[in-house]
Amino acid sequence: MAIPTNTRETYGGVQIREDLSNIIYNISPMDTPFISGAGRGTASNTLFEWQRDELAAAAANQKKEGDNPASLAVSEPEKLQTYTQISEKAVQTSGTAEAVDWAGRKSSQAYQLAKRAKEIKRDMELMLTGNDTSTVGASDTPRKTAACMSWMGNSTAGSSNLINGPTAAAVANTGNGNGTAVTAVSGTVALLTMAMINTCVEQIWKAGGTPDILMCRSDLKVKMSALAGSVVADIVSNHDKASPASAINSVDVIVTDFGTFKIVPNRFCLAETMYLLDFDYWSVDYLRPFQTETLAKTGDSIKQMMIAEYGLRGKNGHASGAIIGVKAA
């Protein structure tokens, strides 16, 4: 049917009020499971230190009556250290941009600062779950804190808690888990197997550790569901059919010979790597916790910086471990 003559339509209208929601939808992931799981501590200097120790190996210990024992050699605790590093992001907004009426936020500057804080936390998660050596820094070089994997391993392969996927065997860390980056794996990246996981868990258990978290990227999380056994396809329903049927094809917890583990996916940790963690032995120590600094005003604008200064304390990396150089398919 034809439209009557002189009927006014919306097409070409220039005075129609805009319909813009006051809600801003952002699905960017903000979960940081390593930071959330590790403890939180404080640092009082850019260089902070702590100690770890171990007992002598168990041995036959029977003596004669009235024996005069000889003094044993003393084993001193090992001193470990790392540096804090600075993460920052700045936001600058003109006076006009701050004064106008924005949809979805009262202050453009405050909104952008809140975003930067979340972004820094994601940056921290990426760096702390990496394999970096601590760096003292200089006037033209930023300081760097030692990352998670650098605190793992042992200088002796036979007692190391690092498993090389290509060989499915324990490998040494020349730094003995003292904050020195682990040497890259040699060989072709291998498929993750339960045997690798069991080997790593056993190595940690022998050292006295009791980890309870398996942390990995999403592809290895899916692989774990496949490794844990056949798909559980038990259809759940009741007689009145009021509830939908369901099939389970996911595993979030596995039980090994040496403990029960929760499987935690992490978007930011190292690829081709699975961590076995005891969070009692990890903490993120802050010299300066998250804070907003207002920078010098040099014109008709507001400039502020979101900043944090922190370091990773691997209290005793022998309580955790990793499988490196593995893939899901």
252 domain-assigned:
yes
Lowest mean pLDDT across 11-25, 69-83, 101-115, 163-177: 11-25
259 domain-assigned:
yes
Candidates 136, 175, 134, 126; CA nearest to 152 is 175
pLDDT at 156: 80
Percent of the chain topping pLDDT 70:
89
Instruction: Kindly state the DSSP code that residue 12 receives in the 8-state scheme.
Output: T
- 238 pLDDT above the threshold of 80: no
72 domain-assigned:
no
| Averaged confidence pLDDT in the chain | 87
pLDDT at 84: 97
pLDDT at 249: 61
57 domain-assigned:
no
285 domain-assigned:
yes
Q: What confidence category does residue 10 fall into, taking pLDDT thresholds of 50, 70 and 90?
A: low
pLDDT at 102: 86
101 domain-assigned:
yes
pLDDT at 322: 95
User: Which of the pair, 172 or 46, is modelled with greater confidence?
Assistant: 46
Lowest mean pLDDT across 4-8, 19-23, 278-282: 4-8
pLDDT at 234: 41
Alpha helices by DSSP H, 42-191: 95-99, 108-128
d(CA 24, CA 110) in angstroms, rounded, equals 14
Q: What confidence category does residue 237 fall into, taking pLDDT thresholds of 50, 70 and 90?
A: very low
Query: Hey, what amino acid is at 18?
Result: E
- Average pLDDT score over residue span 209-227: 93
69 domain-assigned:
no
pTM, two decimals, is 0.87
> For residue 78, what are its two tokens?
């090992």
| Angle, CA of 277, 281 and 287, to the nearest 5° | 120
Domain ranges, residue 283: 33-49+79-237+244-327
pLDDT at 103: 84
Percent of the chain topping pLDDT 90:
62
> For residue 34, what are its two tokens?
């390593």
Instruction: Kindly state the DSSP code that residue 270 receives in the 8-state scheme.
Output: P
What is the number of structural domains in the chain? 1
18 domain-assigned:
no
